[in-house]
Chains A and B, each alone.
Chain A
């Protein structure tokens, strides 16, 4: 039988994939994709806990996570467009303007 631990392990795997992307990529758009993966893995964990404990609270939190992700994408893409207009690239190494 598929239990709660199966879903939690899957969620942990997906989260680690997203985190690997955040740490490894240097392109800002790819960082956004990796963030989406991490948010989705948290959603899977919430839905699984909600199902196996007969409680709707997990699904509620998943809805609010989806709302947060949607607004994050709207603002973040606007910022990306402004950055691309200003610098002509989305590479984090080229965008570093402070010396330290």
Chain B
């Protein structure tokens, strides 16, 4: 009973918040609603008894990724509304729906064929975090290390790409605005 209530509440809230993200014109609204949607997605993980995954979702997505977006937004002009050319909306809705249907079919096809068998069932008497750790550090050790190297490479790439010419201001062009500010101070 409570599971049903939680599932429908979370799904309505997630879909609504992600629709706001996709349809709004303001970048700040899009970012905050995306963060809210991520929090409710972690609610699904807790419902599915994937506690550790839910906590990781909260820390990595809502904490780290959203903070990274917020910091990057300081470089861009975030308060201004985005002006975009509207494309063919009906075609976009049709294509999106078709691809989502294809995704569901791809996921359901092996289940219909009864080909799914549990390779690594949860260990008896161990919590979710313990069994995740046992499987991750025995069966998936090499992908785990590769993911660590990938994160290191991404960190170096991010620092090098964003770190060039950090002393120059982006939002104010060098010639005009600085002079204007100086003139205003002079007149005061």
Contact = CB atoms under 8 A, between A and B. Distances in A.
Interface residues on A, range: 35 or more
Contacts of A37: 18, 21-22, 34, 37
A47 B44 contact: yes
Contacts of A77: 68-69, 72, 158, 162
A77 B71 CA distance: 10
A51 to B, nearest CB: 4
B155 interface: yes
B92 A23 contact: yes
A14 B40 CA distance: 13
Contact of A20 (B37, B93, B162): B93
A42 to B, nearest CB: 8
SS class of chain B's interface: helix, strand, loop or mixed?
Answer: helix
Given A50-B50, A51-B48, A70-B151, A78 B157 contact: yes
Interface of A: 1-2, 4-21, 23-27, 29-30, 32-34, 36-37, 40, 43-45, 47-51, 53-57, 59-60, 62-64, 66-75, 77-82, 84-85, 90-91, 93
What 8 A-B pairs come out closest when comparing CB atoms? A78-B161, A71-B154, A16-B100, A21-B22, A74-B158, A20-B96, A55-B118, A51-B48
